[in-house]
Amino acid sequence: MLRRVLAVFLLMPGFAVAQDDPPTNSETEEEASVDVDAPTPLLRGLSIVDADIQNEALDIEDDVDAPVTTAPPAGTDLAAIFNRAQLAYATEDFETAYVHARNAASGGHAQAATLAGLIHDEAQIAEASDEAAMRWYRRAADQNEPVALYRLGRMAEAARGGLLPNEARAYFQRSAQAGNVEAMLAYAMILKASPVPQDAPFALEWAERAAGQGNVEAMFQLAQMFDVWERGPQDPAEAREWYERAAENNHAEAALQAGLMASAGEGGDEDPVQALALIRQSAEAGFAPAMGQYGLMLHSGWNGAEPDRTGAAEWFAQGAIGGDAEARYLYALALATGDGVERDLVRSYYWTLMAEFEMDGSPAANTDRRRLQAQLENHLTPTEAEQVRSQIAAYRAR
């Protein structure tokens, strides 16, 4: 559920002559940028060792060609071999990391087995396979290694490596009980989705444990349980507190929800200043639904401020490009009326049709959008309307 802070401004009184320019490509969808040079992180629980241990590890002379089924000689320092595996992994020398990890794992080092599984899981070596990842993770899981148990749960959810989705719950439970925070949240979400009523309080308990350990997504999910979960406690004050805590840790959707609660005085005092700050935070973090909401605040002159229709239209446009159905409608309306942006009925029609569906693909429940569509179709030529419809059909067919 997404609250809305304000009623949208109403339809325009009339139209000017339609313009001929079609929507530009930059106003459809943006590709997310990826930092291809970012270093490969290890999982939590597989941290890079300190400088002294690094120096010791570099002096180890283990047999890098030892087969996976051969355990190192008695007395071998397995921890030092594992440290060497971590160092190689951190420098993205995955082949060497795997050799060291499998050697230490063959000697019984649980974290090394987890790292060997991870290298297969992430397809970081040529011979990587899901089956090998599963086998290494299971070797570590036999020693109750939390990260391996968690990764097995994720593989089971995806039906990888011969695992089945119904196996995920047990793996997440074991990992959570062994202290893995990500598993606490994953287990909580499985319990939340369970049809068994007795699972509901345990879902809340595990989500709260993960949130208490500083997991930001768990803070947000816990807030959702207090806020909109039909089997949850329905406690707006708790929901707002956890949304705010998640927002303090830069969770964009939590910031929007906390801001909307502050604007309505839900779960605490009405606070228009806090509402504006939180919704702006969410919008500036790139959360598309917040962009439309922040634009509405600018358009209306929130909390006595001077209305900023140009700024509002810019935020509507950003939210539209980001995929939010309401922002798309608001931008279409601004284009149709020339409110804060140059009037352009062809582009308005484009965004009106794009606003037909929510981000998840479900139909948007917006009768004003349908009215706007009908009015625009009365003012565009058949050729203009067909060109826009063809463009959208081609986009959705991709």
According to the model, what pLDDT value does residue 63 have? 43
CA distance 366 to 344: 21
Evaluate whether 141 touches 151 at the Cβ level (below 8 Å): no
Residues with Cβ within 8 Å of residue 371, at least 6 apart in sequence: 11
Helix, strand, or coil here: 270?
Answer: coil
The pTM for the full model equals 0.82
DSSP assigned state of 92: T
Name the nearest CA neighbour of 184 among 159, 218, 216, 143. Answer: 218
Residue-level pLDDT at 72: 75
Cα–Cα distance measured from residue 77 to residue 194, given in angstroms and rounded to the nearest whole number: 45
Q: What is the mean pLDDT of each run of 10 residues along the chain (398 residues)?
A: 48 36 42 42 54 47 45 82 97 97 96 98 98 98 98 98 98 98 98 97 98 98 98 97 98 98 98 98 98 98 97 98 97 98 98 96 95 97 97 92
Distance, in Å, from the CA atom of 398 to the CA atom of 393, rounded to the nearest integer, reads 9
Give the per-residue pLDDT at 290: 98
Nearest to 323 by CA among 364, 354, 281: 354
What pLDDT was estimated at residue 60? 42
Q: Where are the alpha helices (DSSP H) in the chain?
A: 51-58, 78-90, 94-106, 110-121, 130-141, 146-157, 168-177, 181-193, 200-212, 216-227, 236-248, 252-264, 272-284, 288-300, 309-322, 325-337, 345-354, 367-379, 382-396
Residue 394's alpha-carbon distances to 103, 370, 398, in angstroms, are 53, 21, 7
Q: Over 148-217, what HEC string results?
A: HHHHHHHHHHCCCCCCCHHHHHHHHHHHHHCCCHHHHHHHHHHHHHCCCHHHHHHHHHHHHHHHHCCCHH
Tokens 């071999």, residue located: 81
CA dist 175 and 190 (Å) reads 14
Cβ count near 177 (within 10 Å): 15
Question: What are the residue ranges spanned by the domains of the chain?
Answer: 43-179, 310-398
**CATH class as words, domain 43-179:** mainly alpha
Measured between alpha carbons, how far is 277 from 255 in angstroms, rounded to an integer? 9
CA geometry: angle 171, 173, 175, nearest 5 deg: 70
What pLDDT score was predicted for residue 73?
A: 75
Identify the pLDDT of residue 30: 39
Q: What local confidence, expressed as pLDDT, does residue 70 receive? A: 63
- CA dist., res. 380 & res. 349, Å (int): 9
| CA distance linking residue 102 with residue 106, whole number of Å | 6
Q: What type of residue is 324?
A: D
Q: What is the pLDDT, as a whole number, of residue 45?
A: 57
Other C-beta atoms within 10 Å of 251: how many? 23
DSSP code for 4: -
Cα distances from 220 to residues 15, 69, 105, 245, 274, in angstroms, run 44, 44, 37, 8, 18
- Buried b / exposed e over 144-170, threshold 16 CB at 10 Å, is ebbbbbbbbbbbbbeeebebeeebbbe
- Specify the pLDDT at position 283: 98
